[in-house]
Amino acid sequence: MYQPEKLKARRKELKLTQKEIAEQLGISFQAYSAWERGVKEPSEEKVRQLEEILKVPKGYFTQIEIVRLYNSLSNQGKEKVVVYARDLAQEEQAKKVMLISEKLFEYHVYERMSAGIGASVYDDRNFDTVYFNEELAHDFASWVSGDSMEPKYQNGSVALIRETGFDYDGAVYAVVCNNQTYIKRVYREEDGLRLVSINPKYKDIFISYEEDPRIVGIIVGNFVPMEG
């Protein structure tokens, strides 16, 4: 099977131009360019000439790399490759069976919520589909970005939210204000909300009631997605 990407890579490795190779082959620049783009394939004779010009072993441009390397091995080496490949195939097949046997639940994860300084709220119609091996009750799910709520809420994890409004001081909530969304521990004070990070390197954030902050709901769980 002809591999145009290897032809292009080898030419560049030798710092040759398409025109230079075309001239050595006695063909037009356009004809050679078509080979590199995969539009056309060189004849067996031209492939042989390319191997000579570009100083590569026979079959370099026409064999899959693993096949070419396999063919260059001794019989003993070939046996070792077959044994290793067979073991690897069995191992990967076992992993596939394990994933299939483990039931995964689908979650729609909406805007990337901020666990840092704040992130814009995206259109609720935009969501990613992820999977987890437990079915956890929630009203909606959202991404967590930033490290201000680590170690409990990891950057890149999924936060599960119940639209309860405010429940009690010190719980972790999703708060929206000025088109920004925060995941923080929330404390209600006389003049506003105090948002507290779990990570001690972050300072508290105070949002005045005049800014109309909205507590969307309480965080009832989180997880790192699994491959579906």
For 181-190, the pLDDT digits (tens) are 889 999 999 9
* CB crowding 31-42: b at 16 or more within 10 Å, else e: ebebbbeeeebb
Whether the pLDDT of residue 79 is over 70: the answer is yes
Residue 87 CA to residue 16 CA, distance in Å, equals: 42
- List the domain range (segments joined by +) for residue 88: 4-99
pLDDT in tens, 96-150: 666 555 678 999 887 645 444 444 444 445 678 889 988 999 988 888 888 899 9
Residue 225 CA to residue 23 CA, distance in Å, equals: 55
Residue 91 CA to residue 99 CA, distance in Å, equals: 13
Instruction: Categorise residue 103: left if φ over 0, alpha if ψ from -120 to 50, beta otherwise.
Output: beta
Whether the pLDDT of residue 179 is over 90: the answer is no
What's the pLDDT score for residue 57?
A: 86
- Does one domain contain both 217 and 115? yes
Task: Name the helix (H) or strand (E) containing 43.
Answer: none
8 Å CB contact between 1 and 62: yes
- Does one domain contain both 121 and 202? yes
What's the pLDDT score for residue 117?
A: 46
Percent over 90 (pLDDT), the chain = 42
- Does one domain contain both 119 and 20? no
Average pLDDT, the chain: 85
Q: Worst-scoring range by mean pLDDT, 86-95, 129-138, 169-178?
A: 86-95
Residue 98 CA to residue 50 CA, distance in Å, equals: 47
Asked if residue 228 is part of any domain, the answer here is: no
Q: For residue 227, what are the contacts with CB-CB under 8 A and spacing of at least 6?
A: 99, 131
What's the pLDDT score for residue 82?
A: 84
What's the pLDDT score for residue 102?
A: 66
Question: Pick from 31, 65, 99: which residue ends a domain?
Answer: 99
- Does one domain contain both 67 and 119? no
8 Å CB contact between 24 and 18: no
What's the pLDDT score for residue 39?
A: 86
Identify the CATH number of the domain in which residue 26 sits. 1.10.260.40
- Counts of helices then strands in the chain (DSSP H, E): 6, 10
**Strands 180-188 and 172-177: what pairing?**
antiparallel
Residue 39 CA to residue 59 CA, distance in Å, equals: 20
Identify the CATH number of the domain in which residue 152 sits. 2.10.109.10
Question: Pick from 81, 99, 117: which residue ends a domain?
Answer: 99
Beta bridge partners of 160: 141, 221
pLDDT in tens, 187-220: 999 999 999 999 999 999 999 999 989 888 899 9
- Does one domain contain both 122 and 13? no
The length of the chain is 228
